[in-house]
Structure 1
Amino acid sequence: MLGTALNLLTCPLCGQSLTAGAGALKCPKAHAFDIARQGYVNLLSGGAHTGTADTAEMVRARADFLAAGHYAPLAGAIARIASDLGPSTVLDAGTGTGYYLAAVLDALPTAVGLGLDISKYALRRAARAHPRAAAAVWDVWRPLPVRSAEVDLVLNVFAPRNAAEFARVLRPEGALLVVTPTGAHLAELRAEAGLLEVDAAKEERLDRTLSGRFEPARTEHLDYPLTLSAAEATDAVAMGPSAHHAPRALEGDRQVTASFRLSLYRPTPQT
């Protein structure tokens, strides 16, 4: 599976090309990075801090929630936008379980994808999410182990944004697709369970973060109702940042709102 996107990767220590063999990726300077039996490669050095990574329980909750189809309309919208663009190479920065990357690759029969995430638990699933997707452990706040100007589309779904690195790896004609929750997203559940609020200035902060390197090209909003059982609502809590807190116990079915902003950006021409 790594072979599908191996040409995108570079050695994070020296920047040279990587080749696969004997259970590891290696560069000409003999830096080696183990390939896990699940199929992902760990490119982070042994001393890297992964304290913000999703835990095994968070990943389990997310996988169950997504498998129930609750975010299938969002995956479809992402895939539709990607299909309109027609990229050959897709980088999913903060890929999680690879759910959205797989949807995009299903819509693009000849494209290859690379998913980066800091959680090894998530990447155990992402490495098997799609036959044309590779997965690697990496902290997206660091310089990305990806060749410059080789990516057609960067996906960034509910994940940290490294604007400088996204701009570097994208081709001049490439695109960045950022997905964020709006203030209405799961608002009913947040009120019921005492969850963290969505930052009211999130959209303005996003545009400001990308300013100078990216120009807004297109924005869509996606809103739809969800009916969640107590177990599904518990998973919705457990899979996100509120998992680090102690929400009140949930009982019975409830209807909540799913609400997302899908923002497409183009690289700002550099002079």
Structure 2
Amino acid sequence: MLVCPVCHHDLHKQEHRYTCKNHHMYDIAKEGYVNLYLKSAKTSGDELAMVQARRLFLSKGYYTILQQKLINIIKDLHPRMIVDAGCGEGYYTNAIAQALPDTTIYGVDLSKRALKYAAKRTKYVEYVLSSIFHMPIKAHQADILLNVFAPFAYEEYTRMIHDKGYLICVEPGTNHLMQLKQVLYETPYQNEETMHEQLSVIDRIYVKDQITCPNHDLQALFMMTPYYHKTSKEASLRLESIEVLDIDIEFVITIYQK
């Protein structure tokens, strides 16, 4: 299903590399992912601190409720092929692969740091270093395009799925992490839910829970959010002084079709 990013012919997997009929070759990294990004990826994707913070936080099981809900939704759709666009460290991707061992799954991300971690932990996902706006995957092949907190690349996502395929998007709910924002900002704001009107909405599912975070996990959560680079030093210090915080988590899962 992968295509050469240079000539766009099919790639064929050999023991340690992918090749096309024009003899373009792409080595599979020792961790198990393949780099199909033509530009330099040295500084692409999430920074190391954010990747490490996300790994730490997710490994504690705080978002297991979302992970399990996604698995249940996807199982009911009986997919043969899934593309996880913006898969990061593979927290959701690897869990889905374990739950659906007969499904072909591709994880695509631009962070080499994240893919190294993801690929080392499974043999059942094809991890690809690439932009999610130009994925080196054949068109109209995916039963499901999964997007968990990643940018929404409408044209590319709809190119991926076949005419009866599904696009599953996860975004923060209205009050997601509200208590964290109350510590950081004088006027905490609610998140706005989005709706992509070019697509048909099959279902919209809300997942809610409350988690209790001690300080070290709270700092990891903060670092993996967009707030980290937008918050004043004073507010960051205020968060550092909190020993434990109860936080509402809220996710919106929207299932679309073309």
User: Do Structure 1 and Structure 2 share a fold, with TM-score over 0.5?
Assistant: yes
Question: 3-state SS of the aligned residue for 2:26?
Answer: strand
Cα deviation for residue 22 of structure 1 reads 6.5
State the TM-score, normalizing by the size of structure 2: 0.90
- The whole-number CA distance in structure 1 between the counterparts of 2:61 and 2:186 is 22
CA deviation profile, 1:39-95 (whole Å, cap 9, x unmatched): 1111111346955x1111111111111110000000001001001101011100000
Q: Measured at CA, do residues 23 and 155 of structure 1 come closer, stay the same or move farther in structure 2, by a change above 3 Å?
A: same
In the alignment, which residue of structure 2 is the partner of 1:104? 96
Contact 2:84 2:147 in 1 (8 A): yes
Identity %: 29
Distance 1:73 1:138 in 2: 29
What aligned pairs does 1:73-222 form with structure 2 within 5 A after superposition?
A: 73-141=65-133, 143-194=134-185, 200-203=191-194, 206-208=195-197, 211=198, 214-222=199-207
Q: 1:228 aligns with which of 185, 208, 213?
A: 213
Match of 2:236 in 1: 248
* 2:13 aligned partner: 20
Structure 1: gaps of 5 or more residues? 1-7
For 1:248 and 1:61, the matched residues in 2 are separated by: 15
Alpha-carbon distance between aligned partners in 2 of 1:113 and 1:196, rounded to the nearest angstrom: 42
The two structures have a TM-score, normalised by structure 1, of 0.86
Residue type matched to 2:10 in 1? S
Distance in 1, Cα, partners of 2:123 & 2:227: 32
- SS of 1:14's partner is coil
Judge conservation of contact 1:196–1:242 (CA < 8 Å) in 2.
no
Kept after mapping to 2: 8 A contact 1:117/1:138: yes
**1:31 corresponds to 2:19:** no
- Contact 2:174 / 2:192 at 8 angstroms: preserved in 1? no
Structure 2: gaps of 5 or more residues: none
38-47 or 230-239, which deviates more: 38-47
Report how far residue 231 of structure 1 moved.
0.5
1:264 matched to 2:255:
yes
AA aligned to 1:85 is L
Q: Deviations over 1:206-237 (max 9, x none)?
A: 424xx1xx211000001100000101110001
Quick one: distance in 1 between partners of 2:94 and 2:41?
28
* Post-superposition CA distance 1:177-228 (Å, at most 9, x none): 100002211111122134997774442xx424xx1xx211000001100000
Does structure 2 conserve the Cα–Cα contact (< 8 Å) formed by 1:12 and 1:145?
yes
**Native 8 Å contact 2:175 2:190 kept in 1:** no
Count, aligned residues: 252
Structure 1 residues 51-70: aligned runs within 5 Å: 51=44, 53-70=45-62
Residue by residue over 1:232-254, the C-alpha shift from the partner in whole angstroms, topping out at 9 and shown as x without a partner, is 11000111223334551323011
- Partner in structure 2 of residue 237 of structure 1: 222
Alpha-carbon deviation of 1:29? Answer: 1.4
| 2:135/2:156 contact within 8 Å kept | yes
- Residue 41 of structure 1: aligned partner: 34
What is the CA distance between 1:150 and its match in structure 2? 1.1
